[in-house]
C-alpha cells in the first residue's frame, strides 16, 4: 500500500470487466446480510464491498472476481478502511491462499488431499469413515478453505481463528478443519448414524455448535500433534503425487 499509494483509486477509475462487475453486484446482499454494515442495499458497506472487489478484479484479471472472495472482503471491511481491506484481500488472495482462486482450483484440491492425509494422523477413525463412504475433501472442505471459514464459524470463533490465520498462515485453516472433522465425526454413535456419503456430508455441513465454539476450537487446534515438518512433508508428497498423474481430471465445479 505504501509503494502504490494511488493504485486503489486508479483501479476504481478503470472500467473493469462488465461480467465481473455484474457478478459482484449480484453477491453484495449475501455477505453478512444481518450485519449493520451490510444490511442496507446501496448502503456504504455494500458500496465499499463493491469497490474492493472491483479493484481486485481489475488488478488481477486472470482471477477477476471469485465468489468466495466476497465474504473475506466483507469481513476485512468490518475492521479497517476500504483501501486497507483491498490490500489485505490482495495479500490473502495472492499469498496466504495462493492459487485458491485460479481456474480449475488445482491448489485447493491438492490442499484437500493434504488435509485428508493429516486427518489420518490426528483422527484415524474419522479418516477410515470418510474413506469407507468415499467422502472426498472437495465435498466438505471447499467452502472452509475458499472462504477462510468466514461462512462456517460463529463470530467469536472466527475472530480468534483469523487472529491465528493472519499470524501463521494457511496451516491454521488446516488445523481448524481437522478439529471440526474430529469433533463432528469423532463420536462412534455419530459415525454409526452417518451410514453413507449423504448422511456424513450432512453432519459436516452442520457441525455441533459446541465444536465450533471459540474455546473448544482454539484449545483443540493448539493440542493437535502436528509439527511444521508434518505440514511440509505432506505438502511435498501431495504435490509430487498430483504431478505424477497428468491425465487425472482436476477441474471441479463449486457452488458456494
Single residue among 48, 77, 96 that ends a domain in this structure: 96
**Whether the predicted pLDDT of 251 surpasses 60:** no
d(CA 234, CA 100): 18
- pLDDT for 27 equals 94
State pTM to two decimals. 0.90
Asked if 53 and 23 count as a contact pair (C-beta separation under 8 A), the reply is no
Reported as a pLDDT band with limits 50, 70 and 90, residue 104 is confident
Phi, psi dihedral angles at 68 (to 5 degrees):
-70, -15
Query: Which CATH number do you get for residue 127?
Result: 1.10.472.80
Summarised one tens digit per residue, pLDDT across range 45-95 is 999 999 999 999 999 999 999 999 999 999 999 999 999 999 999 999 999
For residue 255, tell me if it sits in a domain.
Answer: no
Q: State which H helix or E strand residue 197 sits in.
A: helix 197-205
Summarised one tens digit per residue, pLDDT across range 122-144 is 999 999 999 999 999 999 999 99
Note whether 122 and 234 are same-domain residues: yes
Note whether 122 and 222 are same-domain residues: yes
Structural domain boundaries, residue 186: 106-243
Q: How many CB atoms lie within 10 A of CB 108?
A: 23
What proportion of the chain, given as a percentage, has pLDDT over 70?
A: 96
Which of these, 85, 111, 86, lies nearest to 98 by C-alpha position? Answer: 111
Query: Which CATH number do you get for residue 32?
Result: 1.10.8.270
Amino acid at each position: 500500500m505504501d509503494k502504490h499509494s494511488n493504485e486503489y483509486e486508479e483501479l476504481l477509475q478503470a472500467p473493469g470487466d462488465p461480467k465481473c462487475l455484474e457478478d459482484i453486484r449480484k453477491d453484495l446482499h449475501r455477505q453478512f446480510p444481518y450485519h449493520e454494515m451490510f444490511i442496507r442495499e446501496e448502503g456504504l458497506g455494500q458500496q465499499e464491498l463493491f469497490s474492493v472487489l472491483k479493484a481486485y478484479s481489475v488488478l488481477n484479471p486472470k482471477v477477476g472476481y471469485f465468489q468466495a472472495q466476497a465474504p473475506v472482503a466483507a469481513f476485512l471491511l468490518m475492521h479497517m478502511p476500504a483501501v486497507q481491506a483491498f490490500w489485505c484481500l490482495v495479500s490473502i488472495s495472492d499469498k496466504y491462499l495462493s492459487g485458491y482462486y485460479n481456474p480449475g482450483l488445482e491448489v485447493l484440491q491438492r490442499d484437500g488431499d493434504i488435509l485428508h492425509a493429516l486427518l489420518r494422523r490426528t483422527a484415524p477413525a474419522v479418516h477410515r469413515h470418510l474413506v469407507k463412504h468415499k467422502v472426498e475433501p472437495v465435498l466438505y472442505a471447499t467452502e472452509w478453505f475458499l472462504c477462510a471459514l468466514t461462512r462456517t464459524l460463529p463470530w467469536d470463533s472466527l475472530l480468534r481463528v483469523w487472529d491465528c490465520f493472519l499470524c501463521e498462515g494457511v496451516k491454521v485453516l488446516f488445523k481448524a478443519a481437522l478439529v471440526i472433522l474430529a469433533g463432528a465425526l469423532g463420536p462412534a454413535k455419530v459415525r454409526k448414524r452417518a451410514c453413507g456419503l449423504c448422511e456424513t456430508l450432512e453432519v459436516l455441513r452442520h457441525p455441533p455448535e459446541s465444536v465450533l465454539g471459540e474455546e473448544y476450537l482454539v484449545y483443540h487446534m493448539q493440542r493437535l500433534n502436528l509439527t511444521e515438518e508434518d505440514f511440509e512433508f505432506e505438502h511435498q508428497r501431495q504435490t509430487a503425487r498430483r504431478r505424477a498423474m497428468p491425465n487425472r481430471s482436476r477441474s471441479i465445479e463449486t457452488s458456494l
